[in-house]
């Protein structure tokens, strides 16, 4: 089966109601989310603290699509098995989280899950030159990680370079941070196929008013796909 490089929208539940994750996840999936992006933060690698494996296991009971777990933690290797056991489909580690990213990706794949590698804005595309046969996804951060709702940092050139490096390998390019209908087209045109969006999806909606989530997701998707037409 050929690799699916169609545009996928992955809402980040960092922007969801922290008192209602189950219904928020159900709402975004009912409103068109392709993946659910779960931001794990340890208060050490990034200046924020979110949730760990027990919470992710609880989210899993509500995720019917793909649970895309973004580990903003260091060290990371100690926790890979716990997030795999919690039900992650994709486990993404930051290349900056330690000295042995090659071994980390091997360890993620050894759990049977898909492996992602994330690059902070200051890390060049070429840093993954020797990882493209070990990774199923490269996540390009377009904010400095730690919070939702931050200002977009343009990494279009990095995305273009990555797309060139990946060639026909079955590797997704995911964009994470400040994605909205304005930034989506240039990112899609540069070669990204997975667009993470937190504030641009959850803004103005709620579990009581979920169609706003659907409108927001559709607007990002339409903007991205318009750049590919």
Contact between 196 and ligand DX5 by CB under 6 A: the answer reads yes
Which of Zn ion, ligand DX5, none does 198 bind, CB closer than 5 to 8 A by kind? ligand DX5
Phi and psi at residue 46, to the nearest 5° = -130, 155
Which lies closer to ligand DX5 via its Cβ, residue 129 or residue 151? 151
Q: How far is CA 90 from the centre of its chain?
A: 9
| Sheet with 137-141, side-by-side order of all strands | 8-11, 194-197, 172-176, 137-141, 114-119, 90-94, 66-72, 35-41
Find the part of the chain contacting ligand DX5 (CB under 6 A) among 77-85, 100-108, 123-131, 193-201.
Answer: 193-201
Q: Does 39 bind ligand DX5 (CB under 6 A)?
A: yes
Q: How close are the terminal C-alpha atoms of the chain, in Å? A: 23
Q: Which of the residues 67 through 106 are near ligand DX5 (CB under 6 A)?
A: 70, 72
Candidates 12-20, 79-87, 119-127, 181-189; binding stretch for ligand DX5 (CB under 6 A):
12-20
- Active-site option among 34, 39, 68, 193: 39
DSSP letter at 16?
S
199 binds, among Zn ion, ligand DX5, none (CB under 5 to 8 A by kind): ligand DX5
Name the site residues for Zn ion (rule: CB under 5 A): 39, 70, 176
Q: What is the 3-state secondary structure (H, E, C) of 20-74?
A: CHHHHHHHHHHCCCCEEEEEEEECCCCCCECCCHHHHHHHHCCCCCEEEEEEECC
In degrees, to the nearest 5, what angle opens at C-alpha 13 toward C-alphas 89 and 4?
40
Q: Is 215 a catalytic residue?
A: no
Question: What span, in angstroms and rounded, lies between the C-alpha atoms of 150 and 37?
Answer: 17
Of 42, 68, 176, 193, the catalytic one is 176
Q: Which is nearer to ligand DX5, 53 or 198 (CB)?
A: 198
39 assigned to active site: yes
Write out the binding residues for ligand DX5, residues 145-184 only, by CB under 6 A: 145-146, 148-150, 176-179
Interacting residues toward ligand DX5 by CB under 6 A: 12, 14-15, 37, 39, 70, 72, 143, 145-146, 148-150, 176-179, 196-200
Residues catalogued as catalytic: 39, 176
């Amino acid at each position: 089966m050929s690799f699916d490089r169609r545009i996928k929208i992955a809402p980040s539940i960092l922007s969801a109601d922290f008192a209602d994750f189950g219904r928020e996840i159900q709402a975004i999936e009912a409103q068109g989310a392709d993946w659910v992006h779960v931001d794990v933060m340890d208060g050490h690698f990034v200046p924020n603290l979110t949730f760990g494996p027990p919470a992710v296991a609880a989210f899993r009971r509500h995720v019917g699509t793909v649970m895309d777990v973004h580990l903003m933690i260091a060290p990371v290797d100690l926790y890979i098995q716990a997030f795999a056991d919690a039900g992650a489909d994709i486990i993404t580690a930051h290349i900056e989280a330690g000295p042995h990213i090659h071994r980390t990706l091997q360890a993620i794949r050894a759990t049977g899950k898909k492996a992602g590698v994330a690059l902070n804005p200051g890390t060049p595309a070429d840093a993954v030159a020797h990882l493209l046969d070990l990774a199923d996804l490269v996540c390009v951060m377009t904010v400095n990680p730690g919070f939702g709702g931050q200002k977009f940092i343009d990494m279009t050139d990095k995305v273009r370079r990555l797309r060139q490096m990946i060639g026909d390998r079955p590797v997704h390019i995911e964009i994470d941070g400040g994605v909205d209908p304005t930034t989506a087209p240039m990112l899609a045109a540069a070669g990204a196929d997975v667009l993470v969006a937190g504030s641009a999806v959850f803004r103005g909606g709620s579990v009581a008013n979920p169609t706003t989530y659907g409108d927001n997701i559709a607007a990002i998707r339409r903007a991205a796909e318009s750049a590919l037409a």
